Homo-oligomer: A and B are copies of this chain.
Amino acid sequence: MKLTILGCYAATPRSFTNPTSQVLQIKNHLFLIDCGEGTQVELRRNKVKFSKIKHIFISHLHGDHFFGLVGLISTFRLLNREKELHVYGPKGIKQAITLQLKLSNSWTNYPLYFHELESKEPQLIFEDEKVSVETIPLKHRIYANGFLFKEKPAERKLNMNACLQHEIDVVYYRKIKAGGDATLEDGTVIPNAELTFDPDPPRSYAFCSDTIYKPDNLPQLKDVTFLYHESTFLEAHAKLANPTGHSTAREAGLMAKGANAQYLILGHYSTRYPDLTLFANEAKAVFKNVLTADDGKVFDLDELTA
C-alpha cells in the first residue's frame, strides 16, 4: 500500500505547486484520485506506470481537481491504450469529457466508462475480492465526495508447524485459511485457532478533499488507518474556511481524532502560507500522528503500519 502525492495545493497550478492528484497503490490496483491540470506530466515525473491505472476517482468538478482529466484520457488514446478505463465522479463529468473528445474528433480507442455520482449518502462504487471503495459525502461549494478505500479481511495465515505436526493434507489448506477447522482421518477435530494465525488487519485510506469540517462523517471514518484530510487554512484564517467550503489544519486534526485514525495526512494547502510545519503543528495540538503531503512525496503505507 503506497500513496504518491502528485499535487496537493489549493487553487491554481503554479511553477512549484501542483493542484490535487494522487495515486493510491492498494492490492495490485493503481487508483488515481483527482486529476488537476498537469497531472499527466506529474505522473511521468514521478515515474508512475500510469498505463496501469484503470480507475479514476474525481471528488468534484472544480478545475484544480478535474481539469487534467481530459488530457490524460486523450494521452491514453495517443499511447494506444486498449484496457478499459473507469471514471467515477459527479454528474456532468461524462458530458464535459465527451464533448471535448467529440470537438477534437478524438474518441477513445479503448472502452471508457463513466460512473456518475449524485447521492448524498455513502455508496459502494467499486468492489472486488480484495478491495472496496465507498464515497464519503463531503460538503463544499459544489457537490463533492471523498473516497474510502478499504482492504477486505485477508485469509488467516497457516501455522505451518501445527499443520505438519497434525499431518494435515494440503487439500484442506484453503478451507483452513478461510477459517474452517480440520477433521483428521480418525475423526478428531483440530480447531482452526490451533492451525492458523490472525492475518494482518485490513487497512483503509480515506481521501477527504475539498470539504468543510464535517463531523457527521465520523461514523463512516471510524478506525480508518489513514485519513487524508484537506487543510486549506490555518486557524488564523478560520473565518475563511466555512464560507469557502474548506477546513483548517486544526479541524483536520479533530476529524482524525474523532475517527480514531492511525494517521492523519494533511494536504490541499493554500499557497499563502510559507511552511507546511505550520499546518502540522496546528493539527498535532489535537492529534498525534500527523503527516504532511507534499508534491512528489511518496508514503509507504506498509512501513507506517508494520
* Chain A residues close to B by CB (< 8 Å): 11-15, 37-38, 40-41, 44-45, 61-63, 66-68, 70-71, 74-75, 78-79, 90, 92-93, 95-96, 99-100, 103-106, 141-142
Q: In the complex, how many angstroms separate the beta carbon of A64 from the nearest chain B beta carbon?
A: 8
One of B40, B79, B105, B106 near A37 (C-beta < 8 A)? B40
CB pair A14 B44 closer than 8 Å: yes
A61 CA to B104 CA, complexed, in Å: 5
Given A13-B38, A13-B41, A92-B99, 16 other A-B contacts at CB below 8 A? Answer: A13-B40, A13-B71, A14-B41, A15-B44, A37-B38, A37-B41, A37-B68, A61-B104, A63-B70, A63-B71, A63-B74, A63-B100, A67-B100, A93-B103, A96-B99, A103-B142
- Least CB distance from A116 to B in Å reads 12
Sample (5) of A-B pairs whose CB atoms are under 8 Å apart: A13-B71, A37-B38, A38-B41, A67-B70, A96-B100
Q: B92, A103: Cβ atoms under 8 Å? A: yes
Contacting pair B104 A71 (CB below 8 A): no
**A75 touches which one: B12, B44, B104, B106 (CB < 8 A)?**
B12
A100 to B67, CA, bound (A): 9
Inter-chain contact A63/B106, CB cutoff 8 Å: yes
What residues on B are CB-neighbors of A14 within 8 Å?
Answer: 41, 44
Residue among A41, A90, A142 with the highest chain B CB neighbour number at 10 A: A41
Q: Are B41 and A142 in contact (CB under 8 A)?
A: no
In the assembled complex, the Cα of A79 lies from the Cα of B67 at a distance in Å of 18
